[in-house]
Structure 1
Amino acid sequence: MLRLRKGRYSARFAETAADLSACQRLRYLAFIDGSGADPREDGLEADAFDARCRHVMVEETRTGTLVCCFRLLTLSDGGEITSCYAAQYYELSALQAYEGRMVEMGRFCIHPAHKDPDILRVAWGAMTRFVDDEGVEMLFGCSSFKGTEADTYMDAFALLNERHLAPKRWLPRVKAPAIFPFAQRLKRRKPDLKRAQQGMPPLLRTYLLMGGWVSDHAVVDRDMNTLHVFTGLEIGAIPPARARLLRLAAN
């Protein structure tokens, strides 16, 4: 049972239907409301994968306000990779050979009215505890950029191409009908590092600081009004100093 309390915030698994609905409402607020994506009549952002996942809630301890949530789908190894959410958008046959336990982290969001960086630290502390408890060897998911106009993020994509592409043995191939092939288009572009960092989603920045890697293309997801890249992180490759910080956050 996941229970983690740090300062003003605590993390736990969703336990009831009401908990899941709270997560889906926060996801709607973060991903749909005001984003340009098609609205949902019930005010929930939900899909068929919710029933297969465990949902982590980060709450403000004093008020019980839900400030962050994400979901976890555990796979015994790469042989189950075609059953994950990301497999709808990426051809992941290269990862079928992966022998270790994997977990897909999805629908990560922080309440737009709450900017405290400790929220992200507690979320990663909860994730670290889960990874350690479950013996997970690879963490993966889709990291989203707001909107579907790639021109907004050219320096960020150029930086991903220059420094953070997946190892060839794990590289996802194209499956989605609408993509931005940034590795091909931006071969010769040198990124402006300041603009690149400004355009990079916070979750993706954290993955990259830990040694994460991405697909060589972004998927244009018009349903969610985002561009997203497949993102992977091999737990054993996290730099020792980063791993120590994560485990401090998890204890």
Structure 2
Amino acid sequence: MAELAPAPVGRAPSPFGAVVKAFVPAPVRRMKGRFDVNGRVLGRLGPLEVRLARSRDEVKAAQQLRYRVFYEEMSAQPSRLQKLTRRDKDGFDRYCDHLLVIDGARGGSLANQIVGTYRLMRQEGAEMAGSFYTAQEFEIGPLLARHPGKRFLELGRSCVLKEYRGKRSVELLWQGIWAYVQQHRIDVLFGCASLAGTDLKALELPLAFLKTHAAAPAEWQVRAQPRKGVLRGEDVDGEADPRRALAALPPLLKGYLRIGGYIGADAVVDYQFGTTDVLVVVPVSNIHPRYVEYYGADSRFVA
């Protein structure tokens, strides 16, 4: 599944193009496998606000949005149950926090007002779930074992409604993520980033560029799980034309590289979603101070 940068968000402008403030969440309380911030707003831009889902109904609304984007707009193939419920739901959802961008000006039900979402899973949630979602494609265990004292956060299932894929919505998602990182003292962000298409031959250019310019050092390296549809890093040859390669990368993935992200060695084809995924790892210590200033290292909630 397309994680860090699925096509719907990837086509939006980079979230780092404007200065916005982040807001540090209030103390959290445990809530049936998820974590709640008592309904407080993490940030606002005009009529849009960002916060965590407060209830099962709000998580359900986020799943409905994901279905609209992944299965109705894009080429993902739903299961029978997903077709019946019209929700992109899996067993990991209950162990995650769900970040929401809400446009109150749309009126109607809350489900109609939710225009963007991102799924956040901390290690506590992964332990309850049995694994991180990303472990279905990549060998996450060795990475965690090499950094036993660090707190990891998996980012995934990101999507924004087509008419909201401008910088404001994406900025708000990142504002919320940064607030969450600060609240939970996260050390490392990671997840799958997607390139459109499943033809590995056609993706040689961007994959060669990532290998040459963004390869993870040994301490942050992650390999793919053994499975069909894996392109091993050692099989990616050639020097990529940087200009052409960058043009082929989703903007959100380029944003991750810009703030100091690394790319794992291998690429994995996700046939259900029609994408080819790479593993992105972003140590928070790598993030350039100017990006931290955009979101505010010391900040507060919007009331």
TM-score normalized by structure 1? Answer: 0.89
Question: 1:197 is matched with which residue: 246, 252, 266?
Answer: 246
Which residue of 2 is the match for residue 56 of structure 1?
99
The answer to whether the 8 Å contact 1:171/1:215 transfers is yes
Q: Does 1:73 align with 2:73?
A: no
Question: 1:10 is matched with which residue: 29, 39, 49?
Answer: 49
Deviation at 1:239, TM superposition (A): 1.4
The answer to whether the 8 Å contact 1:10/1:122 transfers is yes
Deviation at 1:75, TM superposition (A): 1.2
Question: 2:172 is matched with which residue: 104, 122, 129?
Answer: 122
Which residue of 2 is the match for residue 113 of structure 1?
163
Q: SS at the partner of 1:174?
A: coil
Which whole-Å CA distance do the structure 2 matches of 1:235 and 1:162 have between them? 22
- Larger RCO of the pair (alpha carbons < 8 Å, separation 6+): 2
Which whole-Å CA distance do the structure 2 matches of 1:113 and 1:75 have between them? 34
Deviation at 1:230, TM superposition (A): 1.1
Report the AA paired with residue 185 of structure 1.
D
Q: Does 1:47 align with 2:90?
A: yes
Which residue of 1 is the match for residue 284 of structure 2?
235
Change in 2 beyond 3 A, CA 1:81/1:27: closer
Question: 2:228 is matched with which residue: 171, 175, 178?
Answer: 178
Report the AA paired with residue 89 of structure 2.
A
Structure 2 unaligned blocks of 5 or more: 1-36, 108-112
Report the AA paired with residue 159 of structure 2.
C
Deviation at 1:241, TM superposition (A): 1.6
Change in 2 beyond 3 A, CA 1:116/1:35: closer
Q: Give the percent of matched residue pairs that are identical in Structure 1 and Structure 2.
A: 27
Which whole-Å CA distance do the structure 2 matches of 1:211 and 1:249 have between them? 21
Deviation at 1:201, TM superposition (A): 2.1
Which whole-Å CA distance do the structure 2 matches of 1:113 and 1:249 have between them? 32
Report the AA paired with residue 171 of structure 1.
Q
Q: Does 1:30 align with 2:69?
A: yes
Deviation at 1:162, TM superposition (A): 0.8
Report the AA paired with residue 12 of structure 1.
R
Deviation by residue 1:24-81 (Cα, 9 ceiling, x = unmatched): 1221122222433323312211100001000000122422632210111111699999
Q: Does 1:245 align with 2:288?
A: no
Which residue of 2 is the match for residue 85 of structure 1?
133
After superposing the two structures, state which structure 1 stretch, 164-173 or 193-202, moved more: 193-202
Report the AA paired with residue 83 of structure 1.
S
Change in 2 beyond 3 A, CA 1:239/1:80: farther
Which whole-Å CA distance do the structure 2 matches of 1:81 and 1:243 have between them? 31
Q: How many residues are treated as equivalent by the alignment? A: 250
After superposing the two structures, state which structure 1 stretch, 141-150 or 159-168, moved more: 141-150
Report the AA paired with residue 208 of structure 1.
L
Which whole-Å CA distance do the structure 1 matches of 2:151 and 2:220 have between them? 15
**Moved beyond 4 Å, runs of 4+:** 76-82, 248-251
Which whole-Å CA distance do the structure 2 matches of 1:249 and 1:67 have between them? 27
Q: SS at the partner of 2:201?
A: helix
Q: SS at the partner of 1:48?
A: coil
Report the AA paired with residue 14 of structure 1.
A
Q: SS at the partner of 1:169?
A: helix
Deviation by residue 1:206-237 (Cα, 9 ceiling, x = unmatched): 21111001111111111222211111110011
RMSD (Å) for aligned C-alpha atoms: 2.5
Change in 2 beyond 3 A, CA 1:73/1:124: same
The answer to whether the 8 Å contact 1:214/1:231 transfers is yes
Deviation at 1:192, TM superposition (A): 2.6
Q: SS at the partner of 1:15?
A: coil
The answer to whether the 8 Å contact 1:183/1:217 transfers is yes
Which whole-Å CA distance do the structure 2 matches of 1:63 and 1:249 have between them? 32
Q: Does 1:165 align with 2:215?
A: yes
Deviation at 1:249, TM superposition (A): 11
Q: SS at the partner of 1:220?
A: strand
The answer to whether the 8 Å contact 2:263/2:280 transfers is yes
Report the AA paired with residue 36 of structure 1.
S
